[in-house]
Amino acid sequence: MSTRACYRFIDRSGEGAEIVTVYKHSDGYPEGAVCWISKALDFAWPLPRFEADEFGAAFIAANKKSAQQRHAEYLAKAEREADPQIKAHLQRSAEEWKPGGRYALACTGGDLRVVNRPGMEAFKSYATDIEFLYDVTVKGEALHVTVHSTVERNGKWTIGRVFAGSLPEMQAKYGLQYLDAA
């Protein structure tokens, strides 16, 4: 089952803040999210410059994969795998993503998308099944991330803070073990 999450990119606080929300369908737990946010840095303005819309676009550019990319990644993982069962599974997955495979056209969209509603509460009317919500902004010269766990039941949201700190602090806490594989 996928761990769904929304990422709010916020370029300043208070009245008039620009907020861009992006939905990611899978790997939204903090150990995955730290990688997705870190990867976006290669596509964004160098810090401390931070604009919500630009960083949201960088996040999508860094993390949205084509079928061809997924095919190549599964092949590379299979090549490195020593366990014959896992290797066979990875090779079957690669076949499903190659041109003509069952996922090649049908499954490349949807994993990442811009939430087309404004404001801090946009996720509530868009993705009621998310497990995590991330606020990404800049404080001083560093990227700052707040991680919230979320539960929605019958229109009532329970949101609890799990972590708040700089991106390097998040990297230290949750690691970057998925960065190369993602």
Cβ atoms 41, 143 nearer than 8 A: yes
pLDDT over threshold 80, residue 28: yes
Q: Is the peptide bond before 168 cis (omega within 30 degrees of 0)?
A: no
> Would you list the domain boundaries of the chain?
1-64+109-182, 65-108
Per-residue pLDDT band at 14 (split at 50, 70, 90): low
pLDDT tens per residue, range 29-53: 999 999 999 999 999 999 999 999 9
Query: What is the rounded CA–CA span in Å between residue 169 and residue 180?
Result: 19
115 three-class SS: coil
pLDDT tens per residue, range 67-83: 788 888 888 989 998 99
Where do we find the tokens 């870190």?
A: 38
pLDDT top residue among 116 and 9: 9
Query: Which amino acid, one-letter code, is at 130?
Result: I
Q: Which helix (H) or strand (E) holds 69?
A: helix 67-80
